[in-house]
Amino acid sequence: MNTLIIVESPYKVPTIKSYLGKGYKVTACKGHVRDLPKSKLGVDIENDFAPDYINIRGKGDLIKELKKEAKNADRIFLATDPDREGEAIAWHLSTVLGNDGKKIKRITFNEVTKTALKEAVAAPRELDMKLVDSQQARRILDRLVGYKISPFLWKKIKSGLSAGRVQSVATRIVVEREQEIRAFVPKEYWTISAKLEAEKDTLVAKYYGDADGKREICNEAEARLIESECKGKDFVVGSVKKALKRRKPMPPFITSTLQQEANRRLGFQSRRTMMVAQELYEGVNLGDAGMRGLITYMRTDSLRISDDARNAAKDFIISRYGEKFYPSTPNVYKSKKNSQDAHEAIRPTDPALTPEAVKGKISSDQYKLYKLVWERFIASQMRYAEFDTVVCDINCGKHVFRAGGYVVRFAGYMTVYDDRTEESDSEDGLSATALPELTEGETLKLLKMLSEQHFTQPPPRYTEGTLTKVLEEKGIGRPSTFLPTITTIISRGYVKRNGKVLVPTEIGEITTRILLDNFHSIIDYNYTADMEEDLELICSGDKDYVEVLKEFYADFAKQLEAANETLSEGRITIAPTETDIICENCGCKMVERVGKFGKFAGCPNYPTCKNTKPLESTGSNETPRVESEHKCPKCGKSMYLRKGMYGSFFACEDYPTCKGTMPYRKDIGVNCPKCGKAIVIKQTKTKKTFYSCEDYPNCDFSTWDIPQDKKCPSCGGLVLKKKNKEQYECYAKCGWSESK
């Protein structure tokens, strides 16, 4: 029997082919094949919000090829991703191919492994129209919000702006944090530490309070008073409390926690994390072991793991570390109330396949992320860690100082994954060192006392990781939408990156204010979270998607009518962004402007002063003048990124007074196939562009062709694109090539 399997991503194709063998033809639809038209609303509001789907522009040849393959197949399995978006893609495919109800079936798998695929193929099912309806409701809601509100923003602020059911809420979160920071008033406080000498060792105790229960030291006068009352007096050990503390392991990763931890530990932005996770899920080439999926599906908010995975982890832990490292009863983690339980948590497909076993066979980023997922999962199944803790109160007159410390009695899961941080230790008042042996009534000698002034700090700005965490906590969006939402608000200019943190732009703040004043319910946290719950109820069959849309639009139409009156007149003028560059002609800070060749810095007194300076656009809306790590080869001063007639280059901060320059080498986001480091763009002396490893010539990879951020579907190697041609071939010369 000839079976056609259609997946979303072409990178899954070689892996699945290698597992299923003869009788199966595997091809990819490359995401959605139908969608709402871009040129119009595409939703018939008067006719139960009927969507007007059309084939996506540019997918005509692909659809024709899929129809040809379907015609030659005895049966068709739609194996798109196992979520409601994937279910909707499968439904659109079945519509395009002409589903007769018998020939086309749906299969899903949580991991790209031979076992999972065999089980999926053995148990095909019908399309789940409840999931499809939920996705349709979300798509129509987003279309209504975007196409109905955006024109108001064009009239009031400027063209090109857009509103979104989730993106506008995410922008509001960043804006309100910035407002908190501006409104924050620092408060002074002091800390006092006493270095004390015991019989055998020294220790540091921190001021804890006085006999009246007062703990806070508000100013220098209070700190000096306490110092004077303690100097020359005995420090006597009042109480020594010893305890055994247990620390439970963290649960395995879900989408949001993976993005947060990869950002914190590896410095990965969310986009980079999800791109690498997708590669690990779809399959990587392990040499003699062939193509293999290393992790389970990476878009999930469930902490559930299968019994097979739990048993495999148990066998590995006992064989590698010993029985004492496995708990008496398996660790089970409870998912949040509104999580979809269709998928497992993110875990390695084979716990026995350690990071060391794949090191050198996969890219550097893939190794780092796989190691993080593997360690977190294995640790989540291990026994808790145990600590011997000591907390000692030391009296000096009416004042009390406290010292605390701990030693690890049993490392448990921390043998694999140490999740302690300085913040978590300081919250417990413990230091990661043991205190000397102390007894109640023992007198300690004061060696030194230190008073320090501090000021309370405003709440920190969000990073991509912490913003994802807040979106998850507030129930805004789903695991599959966190990354696209953050990407959208940055690309649209509502939020910009400043290093690792996210800062709202003036446009972002003005847009948020307009939406709060005129469409409050659309960006209300509870309303948005409630809408996500409604979408889940559609999935479960407890709500009809047309009724959900009707309930939404009844209130939305009133807001549109009111906004039409209040936003019809007047336009908000946005001042240009100020830079840190000083105009040498008139001493003003230059402002960012956009010209024929991109961004540049211009004097704010134009046209009286026509002084300009080039700026390098970083693509992330950061403050334009970018300092490099290089030093000027002529004078030793700092070098900055500049843009010239022939592209970008590094120039001395005194340029053009100092003519020191260096070529700009741009990381293109693709890893070297030989050593795993970044591939960068370089130029010859005659200005011809080529690509090489950043470690060139130590690593000899270089090519005139354009490296692609995808893998060869035949061998998993690097794909190169011919310049000025839609022709692709494998760098490893395995024989694969493709023309478009």
The structural domains of the chain, with segments of one domain joined by +, span: 3-127, 136-184+460-566, 188-248+385-455, 263-371, 666-739
The CATH class given to the 3-127 domain equals alpha beta
Beta-strand relationship, 75-78 and 3-7: parallel
Q: Is the dihedral of CA 488, 492, 495, 500 positive or negative?
A: positive
Q: Per-residue pLDDT tens for 220-236?
A: 999 999 999 998 899 99
Q: Per the CATH hierarchy, to which homologous superfamily does domain 263-371 belong?
A: Topoisomerase I, domain 4 (1.10.290.10)
Across 327-332, average pLDDT: 93
Q: Which residue has the higher pLDDT, 572 or 110?
A: 110
Q: Can you give the pLDDT at residue 623?
A: 34
pLDDT of residue 621 exceeding 70, the answer is no
495/493 Cα distance (integer angstroms): 5
Alpha-carbon distance of 593 to 577, in angstroms, equals 8
Output phi, psi for 462, to 5 deg.
-75, 145
Most confident of 11-25, 246-260, 638-652, 706-720: 246-260
Which whole number is the average pLDDT over 324-329? 95
Q: What is the pLDDT of residue 644?
A: 63
CA dist 348 to 143, 153, 376, 483, Å?
Answer: 37, 46, 10, 22
Decide: 601 and 576 in contact? Cβ < 8 Å: no
Please, are residues 171 and 528 in contact by the beta-carbon 8 Å criterion? no
Report pLDDT for 250: 95
Look at the alpha carbons of 95, 98, 100, 103 in this order and tell me if their dihedral is positive or negative. negative
Tokens read off for 679: 């591939």
Count of C-beta atoms within a 10 Å radius of residue 38: 10
When the pLDDT of each residue in the chain is averaged and rounded to a whole number, the result is 86
**Residue 249: which of 368, 425, 416, 406 has the closest Cα?**
416
**Calpha distance 365→719 (Å, rounded):** 18
* Res. 736 pLDDT band, cuts 50 70 90: confident
* pLDDT value, residue 157: 84
**What pLDDT, in 10s, does the model give residues 547-577?**
999 999 999 999 998 888 887 666 776 777 7
Terminal alpha carbon distance of the chain: 31
**The pLDDT of residue 422:** 54
Q: CA 190 to CA 454: how far, in whole Å?
A: 6
Phi, psi of 432 (to 5 degrees): -80, 35
pLDDT digits (tens, 9 = 90+) for 626-673: 556 567 888 877 777 776 655 567 788 777 778 888 766 666 778 888
What pLDDT sits at residue 101? 64
- pLDDT surpasses 90 at 592: no
Of the listed ranges 398-407, 530-539, 609-618, the one predicted with least confidence: 609-618
Is residue 387 predicted with pLDDT exceeding 70?
yes
CATH number of 136-184+460-566: 1.10.460.10
Report, as residue numbers or ranges, the catalytic residues. Answer: 297
Is the pLDDT at 618 greater than 50, yes or no?
no
- Taking residues 347-352, what's their average pLDDT? 94
SS (H, E, C) 583-626: CCCCCCEEEEEEECCEEEEECCCCCCCCCEEECCCCCCCCCCCC
- Cβ of 451: how many Cβ atoms within 10 Å? 16
The residue among 721 and 626 whose pLDDT is bigger is 721
Which class in CATH covers the domain with range 188-248+385-455?
mainly beta
| Residues 300, 502 contacting (CB under 8 angstroms) | no
